[in-house]
A = this chain, B = another copy of it.
């Protein structure tokens, strides 16, 4: 077998992530590698922390970029804050709520599940009922923006309720960070994780996380060690937050962090509120075009994410055939349905750098052509 350099096709990425990465971020990515303890690199890490605080709207000193994808960010929040003695209320309205449940089970903590329909927001009243019924609960976990369904939940209200019942909150912001309103401090979120490859439009592989003071207190008060050495934030802290000297824990993904720095810088330059508004505007353009094609959304209007549009596959069209056509004819990637929606929905991402007029126009034109060609 013979091998040669891999030259990827040039795609437009409008699936559920990774999203389009700008030339500016790719250029930052490929700058010369330096040591993970180099003083220049440590200074850059400090900027990444400040820029992440801005993106998350938090003053939490422990706001860092974890050296692994969002799924590891989720696991980091759970294994650091949940012990086998805890009772955790997980709100499930899609794939990622289900993954939270897996995390709780693997820790061996007591689990309470609050079920909401797929494609709908988490219902605050159901959370409150569960907390009334389980006064022993110590942690509430939910997904802010469900990437599997395109539903947005009311994180502020859910956090308010959790706080009333004296629970810490763990919030999945993988698809919301940078793309829709998110205010960690104002909403009182205790542990939050995101991904690099959604609305930040950085390359995949990094997970921004932030822990509140209460979360850090709980971590420090643990009497059983965190079950993961790699994700133990009491150790990672020595690398990201050492005053002056940084302690070696693992070798940080240096180049990916260059890219993260650049993508956060672009967010700062645009302004967070402007970015949220841009996602809304592009969503509206797309929604108008989809309406003209008689394509329906899965999620009711008031609960829709701007950055992830889950739509019903029009009657008479074959899922894989249409997506294959878009990919092969237009180099355009849109996402398949996941879980309950596999085979009957598409997910159109308008995330970060992909939330642009040219992308919306391309997507609508390509869908129109495919529908005309394949509809029986």
Please determine whether B68 and A68 come into contact, CB atoms closer than 8 angstroms: yes
**Smallest distance from the beta carbon of A184 to chain B beta carbons, Å?**
19
Q: In the complex, which of the residues B50, B68, B99 contacts A72, with contact meaning CB atoms closer than 8 Å? A: B68
How many copies make up the complex? 2
Interface string of A146-180 (1 = CB under 8 A from B): 00000000000000000000000000000000000
Among the listed B21, B75, B254, B261, which residue makes an inter-chain contact with A203, where contact means beta carbons less than 8 Å apart?
B254
Inter-chain CA distance A187–B30, complex, in Å, is 37
- Tell whether A237 is near chain B: CB-to-CB under 8 Å: no
A94 sits at the interface (CB 8 A): no
Cβ–Cβ < 8 Å partners of A103 in chain B = 229
Whether A203 and B35, one on each chain, are in contact in the complex, defined by CB atoms closer than 8 angstroms, is no
B268 touches A3 (CB 8 A): yes
- Would B8 and A31 count as touching, CB distance under 8 A? yes
A251 CB to nearest B CB, Å: 5
User: In terms of DSSP, what is the predominant structure of the interface of chain A?
Assistant: loop
- B residues near A38, Cβ cutoff 8 Å: 8-9, 11, 327, 333
Is A67's CB under 8 angstroms from B205's CB? Answer: yes
A265 CB contacts on chain B under 8 angstroms = 3-5
* CB–CB A262/B6 < 8 A: yes
Residue of B nearest to A252 (CB): B204
Q: How many residues does chain A have at the interface if contact means C-beta atoms less than 8 Å apart?
A: 79
For A232, give the chain B residue with the smallest CB separation. Answer: B106
Expressed in whole angstroms, the minimum distance between the Cβ of A43 and any Cβ of chain B is 9
Nearest CB of B to A316, in Å: 24
- For residue A10, CB closer than 8 A to chain B, the reply is yes
From 226 to 285 in chain A, residues with beta carbon under 8 angstroms from any chain B beta carbon are: 226-231, 248-256, 258, 261-262, 265, 268
A 40-71 contacts with B by CB, 8 A = 40-41, 44, 47, 50-51, 67-71
Minimum distance in angstroms from A66 CB to a CB of chain B: 9
Shortest C-beta distance, A339 to chain B (Å), equals 10
Stretch at the interface among A12-20, A111-119, A134-142, A288-296: A12-20
Chain B residue contacts of A227, Cβ below 8 A: 106-107, 227-228
Residues of B within 8 A of A70 (CB): 250-251
A300 contacts which chain B residues (CB < 8 A)? none
A248 interface neighbour in B41, B258, B338, Cβ under 8 Å: B338
Distance in Å: Cβ of A218 to nearest Cβ of chain B:
18
Beyond A8-B38, A205-B251, list 14 extra A-B contacts (CB 8 Å).
A5-B265, A6-B261, A6-B262, A13-B33, A26-B33, A26-B255, A69-B251, A72-B250, A74-B230, A79-B228, A106-B228, A203-B253, A204-B252, A205-B256
Instruction: Jot down 29 A-B pairs with beta carbons below 8 A, ordered by A.
Output: A3-B50, A3-B268, A5-B261, A6-B262, A8-B32, A9-B32, A9-B40, A15-B35, A26-B32, A29-B255, A30-B30, A36-B204, A67-B69, A67-B205, A68-B68, A68-B72, A69-B230, A69-B251, A69-B253, A71-B250, A103-B229, A106-B226, A106-B228, A203-B255, A204-B254, A205-B205, A205-B252, A205-B255, A228-B228
Q: Which residue numbers of A lie inside 8 Å of B, CB to CB?
A: 1, 3-11, 13, 15, 17-18, 20-21, 26-36, 38-41, 44, 47, 50-51, 67-72, 74-75, 79, 99, 102-103, 105-107, 195, 197, 203-205, 225-231, 248-256, 258, 261-262, 265, 268, 327, 333, 338
